[in-house]
Amino acid sequence: MYGIFYKAKNYRQAFFFFLVQSLTVHLLSSYWLANFRGFAIFTLGASAFGTALEGGLCGAVSHFLPAQLNKKNLLEEDGGRHPHYVWIRIIWFSASWVMWEWMKSTGFLAYPWGTLSMAAYRWKLITQIADITGVWGVTFLFALFSALIAEGYGIMERIPRAQNNIVMAESFVSSAKTAGIFFAICLVYGIFQYVVPRTPVKTLNTVLVQQNVDPWESGDAASIAVSKKLTEQQVNLMRDIGMEPDLVLWSEGVLGYTYPSAIQFYREFPQDESLTAFIARMDIPFVIGGRTLVDHNRQLFSNSAIFFDRNGDYAGFYSKKHLVPFAERIPWAENPLMKFFMGKVVGFTSTLTPGNQYVLFKIPKSNQGNTKAALWSNLPPETTIALEPDGTINKDTASRYTENPGYNPDSYISFTTPICFEDAFSDVCSQLYRIGSEVFLNITNDSWSKEPPAEYQHFIAASYRAIEYRTTLVRCTNSGYSAIVDPSGRVIMDLPVFTETALGFKVPVYERKKTVYSMMGDWFAYLLFAFMGSVFVWSTVFFYIIEPKKTVPATEKEKTDDEREDAAGRSSENDTPPALSTEQSSAPWEDSPEETSDVEDNVFTAKGNMKSGPVHTARPKTIAVPSGKNSTGTKKRR
């Protein structure tokens, strides 16, 4: 793309090239979107159209600098005048690519698939910088490396024709060295982060259930039955080895009836053993994906992670905030025209409501160990210890310094539950992390895709959250890819895709430490945008204000030879000897192949006075002859 990027002749070509590239990548990588409930016109068609349009617009915007570095400037660069253009081109392209991926990964229509950071997943030593820059730093590095190679290839083609090939080569080598230093710094940092030992401060004994049933096709009766069977098998296995489960996770969308009105329903369903009774028998808290009615009057529903205590009682929920566009949420759904179109053309008009709350769940650890809190753990930063009026202690105050009545924070686990592709969005996970999450527990339903690439692509996009926040990511899906990822991005346990199975694992929970990215978010992307803005201003000033002043005005270039000779004659008027007739000798001008002719005109003398008389102007000459005759005796042509 780098070569095409700079060879586009105009903004229209740049728009077209980027549109084709974006559309091609989207269709090749996300073809499985066509399997979404038969709504391929939106899931694949609308997403392809939107992605291609965004790509084309980004290409057109990014073409600003290549449009300035036209053939003339490239020739000047080849002559050694602008060697810095090499580095500017490489950085501009890399920043433009980050801008493109940022555009497609943020906002309501965001779809962060098919990115360079996903392609870099296996480069673990490089991806570690995500805790500083987010995925944008990874994208920038890979775009920079690609641009550097393409630039080197282009310079090798131009060097034989360049006027100053040494300067060109030195400029490229200098750029390559700078990029190499940047890569080396990132590599050293990555090695340190990847190999440094991390010791968990807690563990969460978790059961992940992958039932491999699509609830959209079979309903919740089949998915609940399979999930109950797998859960009981895994819980019994764990208890047989002395590992008491702390939490059971079922995937997204397992429950088909809406909470909280479904509380009574699931106390009786399934008939052989109700869901409530089953959870109570397992004696473990559960998180299960389902729907909630968040506004009874307006009949608004949300996609939720529903929380149950160890007795099977409904404890609350977290609702998905970033909904899938055109699948879970229809833009302008209240508009009559949109309702008509969706109902008549597409065949459905229902839409979900995004959640309006970030929720932190807390559960006690089964293997609490010391249940007493440290004396200092729940004390206010400032306090007063006062004796009673009779000089004796206040027993309530003194008891705080004897045995802390608060809960031991080490005996609890705080977690959040990003739903489905929310784990691919840093803006959602950043808020969940900031409210105190110690571990991300994602629940997902990707079984509708029916394609393993869809499962793995989703996982790769989500895996960066573990690195960005240096926390553990647990993914419980109904068909894959279910996995546990440590803060370095390693997969420490997983399950095969499209397989009916379950996993019991002691999930490591690490000390919460703020990363640069958790505090500053997308600062690196914004820095690159600022760079592009500064280049835009610089290019505008340089190419449209400074450079034009250095060139000769066009009016001077367009003067005819006679006009220039007339101007030269007038400028030398004061130095001209007295006028000679054409019959006189031209001895004073023997070294000039020109003769003079008399032309009556008014001119200014050196003193500024008007002078009337013959003015001598240059004319082609052979030899002096009588006036009006040439050397052959014929009349002289005028």
Strands 472-477 and 439-444: parallel
How confident is residue 14, by pLDDT bands cut at 50, 70 and 90? Answer: confident
For residues 25-34, average pLDDT: 88
What confidence score (pLDDT) does residue 465 get?
Answer: 97
* Confidence check: pLDDT of 52 > 70: yes
Alpha helix positions (H), 308-403: 336-341, 395-399
How much is the pTM? 0.78
Decide which of 465 and 383 is more confident.
Answer: 465
Region for residue 37 given its phi and psi (left: phi exceeds 0; alpha: psi -120 to 50; beta: otherwise): left
Q: Which pLDDT value is given to residue 323?
A: 87
- Rounded to an integer, the average pLDDT of 19-35 is 89
Inform me whether the pLDDT recorded for 204 exceeds 80.
yes
- For residues 349 and 333, is the Cβ–Cβ distance under 8 A? yes
- The closest alpha carbon to 212, from 494, 504, 482, 480, belongs to 480
- What the block records as the tokens of 175 is 């750029």
Amino acid 541: pLDDT: 78
Q: Could you tell me where in the chain the CATH 3.60.110.10 domains are found?
A: 202-321+356-371+408-509
Angle between helix 523-541 and helix 85-105 axes, rounded to 10 deg: 130
CA dist 208 and 186 (Å) reads 35
**By C-alpha distance, which of 505, 519, 512 is closest to 487?**
512
Tell me which residues are annotated as active site: 252, 320, 420
Helices (H), 128-202: 130-133, 135-158, 165-195
The overall longest dimension of the chain from CA atoms, in Å, is 145
The predicted pLDDT at position 504 comes to 95
From CA 307, how far away is CA 287, in angstroms rounded?
Answer: 5
Q: What is the mean pLDDT of the chain?
A: 80
Tell me 41's DSSP state.
Answer: I
Residue 370 neighbours by CB distance under 10 Å: 9
Cis ω for the linkage preceding 336 (within 30 of 0): no
* DSSP state letter for 342: I
Q: Residues 440, 464: contact at Cβ < 8 Å?
A: no
What does DSSP assign to residue 31?
G
Between 614 and 5, where is the model more confident?
A: 5
Q: How large is the average pLDDT for residues 270-283?
A: 95
State pLDDT tens for residues 387-408: 888 887 887 777 767 766 556 6
User: How many Å apart are CA 112 and CA 124, to the nearest integer?
Assistant: 19
Nearest to 312 by CA among 275, 355, 367: 275
Tell me the CA distances in angstroms from 152 to 140, 201, 486, one per residue in order. 18, 49, 38
Q: How far apart are CA 487 and CA 444, in angstroms?
A: 20
Specify the pLDDT at position 411. 79
pLDDT at residue 107, as a whole number: 85
Q: DSSP E strands: which ranges in 42-170?
A: none
Percent of the chain at pLDDT above 70? 72
pLDDT for the residue 158? 66
Query: How far apart, in whole angstroms, are the C-alpha atoms of residue 404 and residue 620?
Result: 114
Judge whether residue 569 has pLDDT over 60. Answer: no
pLDDT digits (tens, 9 = 90+) for 89-125: 889 889 999 999 999 998 888 889 999 999 999 999 9
What was the pLDDT predicted at 43?
75
pLDDT at position 75: 43
Q: Is the pLDDT of residue 82 over 70?
A: no
Is 70 exceeded by the pLDDT of residue 556?
Answer: no
The torsion of the CA quartet 199, 201, 204, 205, rounded to 10 degrees, works out to 60
What is the sign, positive or negative, of the torsion defined by CA atoms of 597, 600, 604, 607? positive
pLDDT at 115: 93
Helices (H) and strands (E) in the chain, counts: 23, 15
How far is it, in rounded angstroms, from Cα 129 to Cα 141?
Answer: 10
Type of residue found at 120: A
Give alpha helix (H) positions in 551-630.
Answer: 554-557, 561-571
Cα angle, residue 20 at apex, residues 14 and 25 outer, rounded to 5°: 125
Angstrom distance (rounded) from CA 473 to CA 203: 13
Which backbone phi and psi does 185 adopt, to 5 degrees? Answer: -60, -45
Termini Cα distance of the chain: 63
Q: Which residue has the tokens 């609702």?
A: 319
Q: Between the ranges 74-88, 525-539, 572-586, where is the mean pLDDT highest?
A: 525-539
Residue type, 196: V
Strand partners, 206: 247, 505
Distance of CA 511 to the CA centre of its chain: 28
Question: What pLDDT, on a 0 to 100 scale, did the predictor assign at position 160?
Answer: 66
Asked whether 204 and 365 are in contact (CB, 8 A), the reply is yes
* Integer CA distances (angstroms), 154 to 59, 91, 165, 176, 251, in order: 20, 16, 13, 14, 51
DSSP collapsed to 3 states, 529-549: HHHHHHHHHHHHHHHHHHHHH
Dist. CA 204–CA 410, nearest whole Å: 11
Residues forming beta bridges with residue 203, ordered by sequence position: 508
Residue 33, classed as helix, strand or coil, is helix
CATH code: domain 202-321+356-371+408-509 is 3.60.110.10
Kindly state the average pLDDT of the residues 207-219.
85
Q: What share of the chain is helix, strand, coil (3-state, %, to 5)?
A: 45, 15, 35
